[in-house]
A and B are shown apart, each in its own frame.
Chain A
Amino acid sequence: MSTFFTSRLFFISLALVVIAATLPLYVSGYVLGLLTVAFYFGVFAMAWDLLFGFAGEVNFGPTFLIGVGAYTAGILNAQFGWSVYPCIVLGALASVIAGLVLALPALRVRGPYFGLTTLVAVLMLQNFIVVFADLTGGEIGLTIPDVITIDAGANYWIALGFMTISAAILYGLSQSPIGLVLQASGQDPVQAGALGFNIVKHKLAAFIVSAFFSGLSGALLVFYFGTASVGTVVDVAVGVNVIVSAVLGGRRTVLGAALGAIFLIVAGEFLRPTGELATFIVSAVALLVVLFFPGGFLGAALSREARS
């Protein structure tokens, strides 16, 4: 752990954050807006990697956790007039509770069945939002009266700061004894059990942490967008983007997931002139990386280091 502060990864990350922090001084509001969204996505992807890369559980429904956080915060603000910050905190808490309710039964089933359970949860949430349109805004979406700030630079810094702090916590956790035990449980649950670790307890904890950051990020995102809609925070396609980001960046790296998310969103935007083709091109690149560099951007670098 202590070696991290002298490692190359630390200095590269630090340099990237410092450079990113100075961007509002010389780039347009348009670019800042794009990166703001990308940073929140980065947190989604990192939270997802904690589950997949470390606990070894594929959560096909990251947007269940994100959506519960986002909509709870949005509804409390729009329908009940609560102020922004309590809404954000409660959004994150709601996500943790929803995650717990989902994970408790889901972690009892193994392998692909866990993933299927999480996928069904997303569909149920989506359905709930559409059916209870009075409360949730339904398919049109929920307009949120309050925002944290309207200043593009401030929004950008909030997102960057939030991502940096989340990255530090999630990465730290992944490198801590808990991260080691999680990794051991993900790789060989039988042996981890025989070494005296309660695997369900550890995986549940990972799920709760993942839910907390997903929900918090989702809640912050709706207050940036000023709306909450199925298409931006719940749809299965959004979840697929989160998963692709994490895999692109590199499994079991946490930080790579954030890089992957930023890449995916920025690349999608750059290709906007190609119209409908943009999604296709980004997906094709992602597919190629997954097929030929399954370790992802950061994973390839780290495993080369491991072999030497």
Chain B
Amino acid sequence: MDMRLSNRAVLEVRGLTKRFGGLTAVKNLGFDVNGGEIFGLIGPNGSGKSTAMKSVMGIERPTSGEVIFEGENVAGLPAHKIARKGFGMVFQHSRPLNRQTVLENILVALLPDSLFMLFPDKALVERAKWIAERVGLGNVMNRRPPTLPFADLRRLELAKAIARDPKVVLVDEPFAGLTRAEVDIFSDLIRSFRDEGRAVMLVDHNVKSVAALVDRVLAMYLGEEIVTGRADEVMKNETVRRVYLGGAIETHARPETSFKDKVPLLQVENVSVFYGKAQALENVSIHVHEGEFVSIVGLNGAGKTTLFNTISGFLPYSGEIVRGGDRLRGTSPAKIARSGLVQCPESRELFGEMSVRENLDLGGQHLSDDKRAAQLAWLFELFPILKERQGQMAQTLSGGEQQMLAIGRALMMQPQILILDEPTLGLAPVILEQLSKALTKLRQTTSITVLLGEQNVTFALPHADRVYVLEHARIVWEGDPGRFAAEAGADFL
């Protein structure tokens, strides 16, 4: 049956709304997906795209609205019933059965929802083998998941999702964590689902990464549709551009000689760190003046987080770390943080089940009541959204809000030196702009010394007075951000 001939869409979504308490994650969303079409649901972090997909699949129960599959409204049914009607979902994070083989993992997806099947059917095993071949797992069928590379684990997720020949395939961030070559292979696989007449729906952060793959795109922001259309049309849309694209890089470096301290506030001298046999830092030397804003740029795995954790006292090292004339070696991480060298870690480490306000109060726990109140008032001026969200549980915030809370909590400790480790990780450009403004304000109105680790150069450069480039555990470049593009930018831009 060629579903492209039928004039009714396989999947019709009408007025889909999902509320979590007072937060409306998806607001009155509507779209159609036809058989033989790849439809993209695109939006920055916290825009509600994942919630929309989960509501279609029945993992989240929609607050209102209709999800019509081949003329039947399935909204409100539990996920397992929706799945049996002809839906398959490819999850981004997989937790395969590690004691079973790849083939057995695929077999699980083929089993009926019955308590009376004690022996798997021969036909099912044959079908599982066929699916394994189909997604390129033919050679590793009898291996167990822990021995497989990441890309093969993603293939396994695809295999499970299409096992029972669904008419609608939902894919959550199809290319997360894949290399460029793997992206091509996965694109071909997803196209082949379309060519078999399935309706494919993708969820992703930005249009560009899926532009070559999708037939139509719905861009959403803050739970609502901005525009629906072909990828190139959507990319031209004014609102989409404003949501996504930051400005050109402007740098505002202050020369190093303008900082008054003769001996830098923080000196890292010839520091080396090993994880077992692997060297994570090799003779790294950096210095930071009082009030200076220093960015350390480097790709994933270059050693940024290791450097910050070493400075914060979490790791054993050789070499010296000197702050204000005192060697930090032997000082506990808690003491270092309390004395004003505060790290806001990459993983944020919020207290998820505490409210926003409680997280902030914990940061300012050592302050007297009126000082804490003053610090809080100043912080709410810097991040107004946190004031609105005070009573909300931290884990229910969007990614961008969580990052602001993490920075806010660090600032409540009244740091002299603030270490920000990859604050932009996984955030949409609109959030970056807000963060960027906050950093500008921080730089202009306070004397806080900032050490920023980033792989996003467009975010790291505008604020920086000085830049270090960290590559494979070593500092390979140091200098003025204005010279960065010419001398070291090739690897990043």
Residues of A within 8 A of B (CB): 1, 172-173, 176-178, 180-181, 183-184, 187-188, 190-199, 201-202, 205, 252, 302-303, 306-307
Contact = CB atoms under 8 A, between A and B. Distances in A.
Contact of A176 (B83, B87, B99, B117): B117
Contacts of A178: 115, 117-118
B493 to A, nearest CB: 38
B59 A190 contact: yes
Contact of B83 (A172, A194, A201): A194
Contact of B111 (A1, A181, A188, A307): A181
A172 to B, nearest CB: 7
Contact of B99 (A181, A190, A195, A306): A306
B80 A196 contact: yes
Contacts of A199: 80
B115 A196 contact: no
A184 B97 contact: yes
B117 A252 contact: no
A195 B146 contact: no
B99 A302 contact: yes
A303 B144 CA distance: 11
A248 B79 CA distance: 36
Given A191-B95, A196-B80, A196-B83, A202 B100 contact: no
Interface string B102-119: 001001110101010111
B160 A195 contact: yes
B138 interface: no
Interface in B53-95: 57-59, 78-80, 83-84, 87-89, 91, 94-95
A181 B53 CA distance: 24
Contact of B113 (A191, A198, A302, A303): A198
Contact of A193 (B83, B104, B109, B117): B83
24 contacts: A176-B117, A176-B118, A177-B111, A177-B120, A178-B118, A180-B97, A180-B111, A183-B97, A191-B89, A191-B94, A191-B95, A193-B59, A193-B80, A194-B59, A194-B79, A194-B88, A195-B109, A195-B160, A197-B111, A201-B113, A202-B115, A303-B98, A306-B146, A307-B144
B353 to A, nearest CB: 13
B392 to A, nearest CB: 21
B147 interface: yes
Contacts of A184: 97, 108
Contacts of B80: 192-199
Contact of A197 (B57, B89, B113, B163): B113
B119 A176 contact: yes
B118 A194 contact: no
Contacts of A173: 118
A55 to B, nearest CB: 13
A178 B117 CA distance: 7
B98 A181 contact: no
Interface of B: 57-59, 78-80, 83-84, 87-89, 91, 94-95, 97-100, 104, 107-109, 111, 113, 115, 117-120, 144, 146-147, 160, 163-164
Nearest to A205: B115
Contact of B95 (A188, A196, A302, A307): A188
A193 B144 CA distance: 23
Given A194-B87, A194-B91, 18 more contacts: A177-B117, A180-B100, A180-B108, A184-B97, A187-B97, A191-B94, A193-B59, A193-B80, A194-B80, A195-B83, A195-B109, A195-B160, A195-B163, A198-B78, A198-B80, A202-B115, A303-B98, A303-B99
B435 to A, nearest CB: 31
A196 B146 contact: no
A91 to B, nearest CB: 24
Contacts of B84: 196
B118 A181 contact: no
Nearest to A299: B99
A199 B88 CA distance: 17
A225 B173 CA distance: 60
Q: Of residues A183, A184, A192, A199, which shows the largest number of chain B Cβ atoms within 10 Å of its Cβ?
A: A184
B108 A181 contact: yes
A190 B144 contact: no
Contacts of B104: 180
Contact of A187 (B88, B95, B146): B95
A289 B163 CA distance: 40
Nearest to B107: A180
B108 A195 contact: yes
Contacts of B108: 177, 180-181, 184, 195
Contacts of B120: 1, 177
Contacts of A205: 115
Contacts of B98: 303, 306
Which 6 A-B residue pairings sit nearest by Cβ, starting from the closest?
A196-B83, A193-B79, A188-B95, A196-B84, A194-B89, A176-B118
A184 B97 CA distance: 7
A15 to B, nearest CB: 23
A177 B111 CA distance: 7
Nearest to B111: A177
B128 to A, nearest CB: 12
B166 to A, nearest CB: 9
Contacts of A176: 117-119
A201 B79 contact: no
B119 A1 contact: yes
Contacts of A181: 108, 111
Contacts of A193: 58-59, 78-80, 83
Nearest to B99: A306
Contacts of A188: 95
B110 to A, nearest CB: 9
Q: Of residues A176, A196, A252, which shows the largest number of chain B Cβ atoms within 10 Å of its Cβ?
A: A196
A177 B59 CA distance: 23
A191 B163 CA distance: 14
A172 B79 contact: no
Contacts of A306: 98-99, 144, 146
A176 B104 CA distance: 11
B99 A177 contact: no
Nearest to A209: B115
A63 to B, nearest CB: 26
Q: Of residues B118, B119, B146, which shows the largest number of chain A Cβ atoms within 10 Å of its Cβ?
A: B118
Q: Of residues B78, B80, B91, B99, which shows the largest number of chain A Cβ atoms within 10 Å of its Cβ?
A: B80
A303 to B, nearest CB: 7
Contacts of B113: 196-198, 201
Contacts of A183: 97, 100
A196 B364 CA distance: 48
A232 B58 CA distance: 46
A177 B144 contact: no
Nearest to A308: B147
A11 to B, nearest CB: 20
